[in-house]
Amino acid sequence: MPAPRRRNLLPSQLLHQCQNTGAPMSNPLSEISLLPPFDRMQPDHVEPAIAELIGNCRDVLREGLEQPGWDTTLAPLEEAEDRLTRAFSPVSHLNSVLSGDWRAPYEAALAEVTAYWTEQGQNPELYEVYRRLSETGGFENWPQARKQMIRLGMRDFRLGGVALEGEERERFAANSRRLAELSSRFANNVLDATNAWTYHTSDVEELAGLPVTAIAAAEEAARSRGNEGWTITLDGPSYLAVMTHADNRELRERVYRAFVSRASDVGPQAGKFDNSAVMEEILALRAEQARLLGFGSYAELSVASKMAPDAGEVTRFLEDLAARARPAAEREYADLRLFARESLSLEHLHPWDIPWAAERLKQSRYAISQEELRPYFPYPQVLAGLFSVVEKLFGVTVEEDASVPVWHRDVQFFWLAREGERIAGFYLDPFAREKKRGGAWMASVATRRQAKAGMQLPIAYLVCNFSAATGDTPSLLTHNEVTTLFHEFGHGLHHMLTRVDVAAVSGINGVAWDAVELPSQFLENWCWQPEAIAMISGHYRTGEPLPRALLDKMLAAKNFQSAMFTVRQLEFALFDFLLHSRPAGASVREIQQLLDEVRARVAVVPVIADNRFQHSFSHIFAGGYAAGYYSYKWAEVLSADAFSMFEERGIFDADTGLRFLGSILEQGGSRDALELFTEFRGREPSIEALLRHSGIDAVTTPDVQ
């Protein structure tokens, strides 16, 4: 997933620490170069740099308003704001991947940056510049990117409260600042709750069933904490290994209960990092923001800037897909219960049994497991294969540059080039570690734009949380993790391969949020193609490609429990959208009640009473997916339909690859998402390919408008 956007926040270049020679102190966050010098950045550089850059933005705007126009107002302001966003980006990033000393300066900077963007969004003089330019003679003949920036800018001014006055205006601005603070607090609580819980054992027999790689990781986790034995954490790789493979049912239950109750009022850390009050206040403030702008709910406000035509269409889309998927999901779950009872002697299938039992059913049915595949997907080989896939599809090459300063020894930096010319770059931070936020995401370092000094290259962060190498064994990925890497790289390509030179609509900027997952989900498809799998696989000891027998089993198992996975996503999406459709927010009790109601309608897998999924649902409470989690399924329709053209013409068909590049990746947000998709596919999107790829039978196949 892409990191949440605040306009186009990016980073800058940072800090020279001057010796005490009487020379003025130099702050690299106030200086501009393409790549942040992470080897010289310090937390105490943040506050003065952000204050200076915000002040400069205000000065530039003040001067620009004296003679309104594109060249006199908007172009200089873009230049100044780019410096600000490129300074704030590494601060935000380091808070996510290192936390610790960066948390306080990040939160202080976030407050100031949020206040600035809110102030800009409510500036009637700046809005008037946009309005007048849109009415200028010859506006329709402007370059497309500039026209789109003006159109989207006018929309965002309205959604930013530019028409509000007096007390309502002040209230909207105060709410915006408070919401930024609360989102950060929510994320901090989840991270702290995740880091605070561990289970240590000195008896390796307790870990029976865990793969060798997971046991080695647990031993390393203990060692890093100064202990002998084995330590289980709630980090993704550790948690998933226990839930999927641990034969110790008591251990599975212990870890499950700790995980699903994180940052809540129940569980082993009850009340310690509780997000209950945070959720209530976030929802109340979002509802108030919507009312102030004349919307009936925050969901309506959210959809106003998305591809979906209205809130009703989103609800119909989700409920229709749930109606199609739930019968298949019920059959899948019934099969699992029968297998658990007859083959595993589990009369009652508890939530902590389900992944474990499902893995055994999968092995029974297909004689394949993620762990059996893992030795064939060493991280270095997968990465090299990914780069080869992208080169064949889009004609770009990837080369590492070890001279670029990074924030951790595991991080690598790469340049993208076309015909020998560098066109973009990215940092890759692949492995899980303490104080690093869980999950996977892409974020912007710098956006492609026409700067004073020339064309600024786009730079991205790509972040995952895979298991690191242990001893002489490299990091070995499950196939699920392989698809995660492809997914995030798809986001990165959307950001890096743009040819747009106006920051507001370059890369992922200006792209409707419910279409932004199209390139990422699209690229996942190559993880399932035999020709591509031969490029990304190779046994870590022998280099042997994935054997045909294993490949056939993996492909046969592709849609194993896919309907159960689909309804789980729909459960989250419907809960999110219906929660934000309420006109006045919700109490903690009402949040739980709504989630229970959605589960009763959509879900097939039971949960325990102490399940507090919502308390760690960072996508909607700390990210950019509030009333937008449906975007994953909405964009999956687009991505499946787009890939179906490659199925028809060849998965490495050069003409089709260049067509996707030209119609989707290079265009960024310069044109509407539906228009771009229709240009590529030759028609509007259809849900048919998604249902086929998921193995879900379709009764009817209405187009998704």
* DSSP-assigned states of every residue in 288-355: HHHHHTT-SSHHHHHHTTSSSS-HHHHHHHHHHHHHHHHHHHHHHHHHHHHHHHHHS--SS--GGGHH
Cα separation of 274 and 270, whole Å?
A: 7
Return the pLDDT at 25. 59
- Helix 673-681 vs helix 631-649: crossing angle, to nearest 10: 20
Return the pLDDT at 370. 87
- 448-482 per-position pLDDT tens digit: 999 999 999 999 999 999 999 988 899 999 999 99
Cα separation of 648 and 563, whole Å?
A: 25
Return the pLDDT at 22. 38
Return the pLDDT at 219. 97
Q: Where are the alpha helices (DSSP H) in 507-666?
A: 518-524, 530-536, 548-556, 562-579, 588-602, 618-621, 631-649, 654-660
Return the pLDDT at 703. 37
Instruction: Retrieve residue 232's tokens.
Output: 């289980």
Instruction: Retrieve residue 134's tokens.
Output: 């849109």
- Give yes or no: 125 in active site: no
Predicted model pTM:
0.93
Return the pLDDT at 695. 86
Cα separation of 108 and 46, whole Å?
A: 9
Residue pair 96/67 in contact by the 8 Å Cβ criterion = no
Residue pair 270/259 in contact by the 8 Å Cβ criterion = no
Enumerate residue ranges in the chain where pLDDT < 50: 4-24, 698-705
HEC assignment per residue over 621-644: HCCCCCCCCCHHHHHHHHHHHHHH
Cα separation of 336 and 362, whole Å?
A: 10
Domain with residues 374-503+512-556, CATH architecture = Orthogonal Bundle (1.10)
- 45-66 per-position pLDDT tens digit: 999 999 999 999 999 999 999 9
Cα separation of 113 and 119, whole Å?
A: 10
Query: Among residues 79, 280, 488, 636, which one is catalytic?
Result: 488
Q: What residue spans define the domains of the chain? A: 197-260, 374-503+512-556
Return the pLDDT at 641. 97
Return the pLDDT at 2. 73
Query: CA quadruple 399, 402, 405, 410: dihedral positive or negative?
Result: positive
Return the pLDDT at 31. 83
Instruction: Retrieve residue 678's tokens.
Output: 């229709």
Return the pLDDT at 446. 98
Cα separation of 626 and 635, whole Å?
A: 16
Cα separation of 145 and 69, whole Å?
A: 16
Cα separation of 89 and 102, whole Å?
A: 12
Return the pLDDT at 6. 37
Return the pLDDT at 19. 31
